[in-house]
Structure 1
Amino acid sequence: MLSSLHDLPEPASRPGSGHLQDWAARPLALIEEGATQALAAGQDLFRLRLGLPAVVGLSPAWNRRVLTDLNTFVSAGSFSAVVPYLAGGVILTDAPGHGARRRALNPGFGKGSVQQLRERMRQASSPVPTGRFNALAWADETVRRQLNAAYFASEFDDRLLAAFLAPLRRPFPVPALPRPLLFRRVEQEIRRLAERRLREGGDDLLSTLAPLPGGLLETRISLAAAHDTTTHALAYAVWELAKAPQDQTPHTHSAVLKEVLRLYPPGWMGSRRLSRAAEWQGTEIPRGTLALYSPYLTGRDPTLWERPLDFRPERWEKSPPAWAYLPFGGGERTCLGVHLAQTLILDVLAELPPLQAHWGNDEPHPGITLGPRGPLVVERR
C-alpha cells in the first residue's frame, strides 16, 4: 500500500501558517532543515505546507524524473505563473506544444548565433572602475548593457530597461506585483524596435525573434529571465577571483564559473505541478501537488560532492554526478539562454584586470534568483 504526503518528513512548521512564514523569511534554512529530516528518515523527499500540497526532492533521480516526465510534471501552475515577468511564452508552455515552440526559438540562442553577437556585447560592457567598487552593482550594469546590445543593438532606452528589471531584485512579493504601466511602456518600446527590424532587417536577437508568433512576448520574458541570473553568477565569479587571484587565468575561468553555479545556482529552486497522480518510492503524490527540485540542495549534498561547501574549481577536472548539477535545468527544458549567459560571463572574466577583495557580504540571498546579499567591494591590484 502506498503511503501519503502526510507520512513524509518535513521541517518544523508554525501553527496556522505551516511553512509559509519561513518560506518567505528564510527559505534556504527551511529547505536545508527539510533535507536533513528526509535524509535522517532514509528518504529523498520531504513535504512543505505552503497553502497547497508541496514536496521537495533531493536526489539526482528525483531531478531526472521531474525534468524528463513532461506529461506528469508540468510548468502550468508552477511558481513562474505568479510572476508577471515570467508568466508566459515558452516558460509556461507544456507538452505537446513546448517542443515545437522551443525549436522555433533555439536558432537565435544557439552557439553560432551567440558567437555573432560576442563583439557587440564586449563593446557594450561597462569599464572596470579604477579604485574600489561594488562588484555586484558593476555586474548588474554590465550585464544590462550587454543584454541591451545582444537583444536590441543597444537601442533600447537604458533608463527604461533598468526600471523594468529593478523589481526582480527585490524580495517577494515585489516581483509578483502587477505593473501594467511599466510593462506597457516596455512592450511599446520592444514593438517599436521590432517594427524597424521587420522593415529594415537587423542582426540582433530581436531581429530573429520578431518574425516569430509570440516573438515579442518571448523577447520580454527571456530578457527578464536572463538579467538577474547572469548578473548574480558574474558577481560571484568576480568576487571569487578577487579572493583567489591565482585563479585569474583564462584556462581556469570555466571551472570557476561552474563552481559558482554549483554553490550559488541563480535558479536555486525549480517547480512543476503534477497533471496527474504519480508514485515516488512508495509515496503517492496527488494530482495538483507542487513538485520542487533544488539545484542548491543537490549542489551542496555531501553524498554527491567531496567537501561540498568549499569553493574548489579543481573539482571540475572530473565530470559531475549525473543530474546533480543543474544550474540551467535539464532535459528538453534546459535554459534557452545557456550559451548567451556563459559566453557573456566568460568574456567578461577574460578581460578583467587583477582584482583584490576588500570586504563584502557573499551570503546567498534567495529571491526569484539566488544572489549575494552584497555589497562585494573589490579593487584593482
Structure 2
Amino acid sequence: MTTFSTLPQPPTRPGNGHLQDWALRPLPLIEDGARRARAAGSDLFRLRLGIPSVVGFSPAWNKRLLSDLDTFRSAGGFSAVVPYLAGGVILTDAPMHRRRRQTINPGFGKKHLETLRGRTQAALPPIPDGEFDALAWADGAVLQLLNAAYFGGEFDSRLLHSFLAPLRQPFPVPALPRPLLFVRVDAELRRLATRRLMAGGDDLLAVLAPIPGGLEEARVSLAAAHDTTTHALAYAVWHLATHPQWHAPAHHPAVLKETLRLHPPGWMGSRRLSREVDWNGVQLPRGTLALYAPYLSARDPHLWDASEQFRPERWENKPPAWAYLPFGGGERLCLGMHLAQMLILDVLAALPPLRAVRGDDSPVPGITLGPKGPLVVRRM
C-alpha cells in the first residue's frame, strides 16, 4: 500500500533533498518525478523541499485542486513569498474570493477590453526592419501595451520598467524585498488614480481605483501580466517564424493555444492543504504543499498525440478536460486571461511575414516559463 512517505520521487541529494535541483533544474526534476509516478501507476509524486510537498499532473488532480477552494488554499502557496504577487485577489481564499472576483472582473471582461482596444493597438511599437530579437522586442512591446491598457500610457515608463525588471531574473531575485521601489510605484498609482477619480476615465486603473484595495489589485495584476504575456508573445512570434504557413489571422488563435500548451508561462501552481486529504488511498497531511503542473499535464503523452510537437491543427478538436491550464481553471481562472489573449492576437495580426534566423527556445523556468533566447527573426 502506498503511503505519503513511499510515494514515487526523483533521486535526492544528500543534505538538501530536492532543493538544489528545484532551484537549478526544475523541469528535468518534475519530468523525472512524473515518469516515476506513471511507472508506479500513480498521478502523484513527492518532492523534498523542506516541507511536505507533492506534485500531481492528472486531469483529476488538477480538477480537485482548482475546484476545492476550501481545502486547497492559495495563501500558503509560492505567491505569498514573492512581494509582487503577495496581495489582492491572488491570495484571497474562499469564501471571500468569489465576492472579490465579482467586484473586479468587469474591468477585465471582454466587453470592457473592447473599449481599450484602439488604445492598445495604437501603442504597439513598430516592427523593426531587418533582424531583431523577438524576445527583447516582445518585452518592450508588452510594457507599452500594458501601460496603455492600465494607465492610458501615462505611467512613468522608466519607473514601470524598473518595477517589472526583477521579475525577469532567476529566483530568488523576484522574492527580495524592494520597499523603496514599491513606495515609488504606489505613489505613482495614487497620483494617476486621483486624476481618474476626479476626471473619470475608461482604462483599467479607472475601473479599479474606486474599489477598496483597487490600487493593490492594479499593482499585483500588472506584475502578474507582464512576463506571462511577454513570454507567450515571444514564443508565438518564434513559432510563426519557424512555421510561416500558420501566419494568418484565421490560424492565430490555434497558434496561441498551441504555444501556451507547449510553453505555459504559469508552468507550476501551488496550494496548501487546510485539512488532510485522501488521494487514491494516500493520506496527504494537513499543511502539505500541493503543486499542479500545467507544463506536465499539457505534455502528457497519454493525453496528447505527438505531445512534444508544435501542431496547431490539434485545436480543431476540444482538448482533454482539465489537461490544458495555461490560465489555471475553475473559479480562480486567471484574471487577465482575456486581456493577454487580446493583446497577443492583435500583435500577431500586425506582424509581417517572418522567418527564423537563429535562436534558443529552450524553456527556462522562473516565476514564469520563458525562452532562453535570443530568438532572432527577420522580415521575409
When normalised by structure 1's length, the TM-score is 0.99
Q: d(CA) in 2 for partners of 1:203 and 1:45?
A: 46
Q: d(CA) in 2 for partners of 1:119 and 1:194?
A: 22
Residue type of the alignment partner of 2:296: L
Partner of 2:107: 108
Partner of 2:312: 313
Q: Does residue 6 of structure 1 match 2:31?
A: no
Q: d(CA) in 2 for partners of 1:3 and 1:327?
A: 31
Q: CA deviation at 1:179?
A: 0.3
Partner of 1:24: 23
Residue type of the alignment partner of 2:180: L
Partner of 1:355: 354
Partner of 2:169: 170
Q: d(CA) in 2 for partners of 1:3 and 1:262?
A: 31
Q: d(CA) in 2 for partners of 1:65 and 1:293?
A: 10
Equivalence map 1:282-293=2 (5 Å): 282-293=281-292
Partner of 1:65: 64
Equivalence map 1:129-168=2 (5 Å): 129-168=128-167
Q: Does residue 206 of structure 1 match 2:205?
A: yes
Partner of 1:250: 249
Partner of 1:190: 189
Q: d(CA) in 2 for partners of 1:189 and 1:17?
A: 42
Q: d(CA) in 2 for partners of 1:112 and 1:360?
A: 38
Q: CA deviation at 1:214?
A: 0.2
Corresponding residue SS for 2:47 = strand
Q: d(CA) in 2 for partners of 1:225 and 1:4?
A: 36
Q: Does residue 370 of structure 1 match 2:369?
A: yes
Q: CA deviation at 1:3?
A: 4.5
Corresponding residue SS for 2:364 = strand
Equivalence map 1:209-358=2 (5 Å): 209-358=208-357
Q: d(CA) in 2 for partners of 1:307 and 1:370?
A: 21
Partner of 2:43: 44
Q: CA deviation at 1:157?
A: 0.5
Q: d(CA) in 2 for partners of 1:108 and 1:380?
A: 36
Q: d(CA) in 2 for partners of 1:330 and 1:196?
A: 35
Corresponding residue SS for 1:251 = coil
Q: d(CA) in 1 for partners of 2:355 and 2:317?
A: 29
Equivalence map 1:69-108=2 (5 Å): 69-108=68-107
Corresponding residue SS for 1:94 = coil
Q: d(CA) in 2 for partners of 1:236 and 1:246?
A: 16
Q: d(CA) in 2 for partners of 1:185 and 1:134?
A: 31
Q: Segments of 4+ in structure 1 off by > 6 A? A: none
Q: CA deviation at 1:244?
A: 1.0
Corresponding residue SS for 1:379 = strand
Q: CA deviation at 1:4?
A: 2.8
Q: CA deviation at 1:223?
A: 0.2
User: Are the equivalent residues in 2 in contact too, given 1:3–1:284 (CA < 8 A)?
Assistant: no
- Deviation by residue 1:129-155 (Cα, 9 ceiling, x = unmatched): 001000001001111100000000000
Residue type of the alignment partner of 1:60: P
Q: d(CA) in 2 for partners of 1:294 and 1:189?
A: 36
What residue ranges of structure 1 are gaps of 5+ in the alignment?
none
- Deviation by residue 1:74-108 (Cα, 9 ceiling, x = unmatched): 00110000000000100000001001000000000
Corresponding residue SS for 2:54 = strand
Q: d(CA) in 2 for partners of 1:354 and 1:64?
A: 39
Corresponding residue SS for 2:111 = helix
- Deviation by residue 1:255-294 (Cα, 9 ceiling, x = unmatched): 0000000000000000000011111001000000000000
Residue type of the alignment partner of 1:203: D
User: Are the equivalent residues in 2 in contact too, given 1:90–1:98 (CA < 8 A)?
Assistant: yes
- Deviation by residue 1:190-238 (Cα, 9 ceiling, x = unmatched): 0100001001111100000000010000000000000000000000000
Corresponding residue SS for 1:250 = coil
Residue type of the alignment partner of 2:324: Y
User: Are the equivalent residues in 2 in contact too, given 1:151–1:204 (CA < 8 A)?
Assistant: yes
Partner of 1:34: 33
Residue type of the alignment partner of 2:98: G
User: Are the equivalent residues in 2 in contact too, given 1:135–1:235 (CA < 8 A)?
Assistant: yes
Residue type of the alignment partner of 1:380: R
Q: d(CA) in 1 for partners of 2:183 and 2:130?
A: 40
Residue type of the alignment partner of 2:289: L
Corresponding residue SS for 2:13 = coil
Q: d(CA) in 2 for partners of 1:195 and 1:142?
A: 27
**Percent identity over the alignment?**
70
Q: d(CA) in 2 for partners of 1:289 and 1:3?
A: 17
When normalised by structure 2's length, the TM-score is 0.99
- Deviation by residue 1:326-376 (Cα, 9 ceiling, x = unmatched): 000000000000000000000000010001100000000000000000000
Query: RMSD of the alignment, in Å?
Result: 0.6
Q: d(CA) in 2 for partners of 1:290 and 1:114?
A: 35
Q: d(CA) in 2 for partners of 1:148 and 1:176?
A: 23
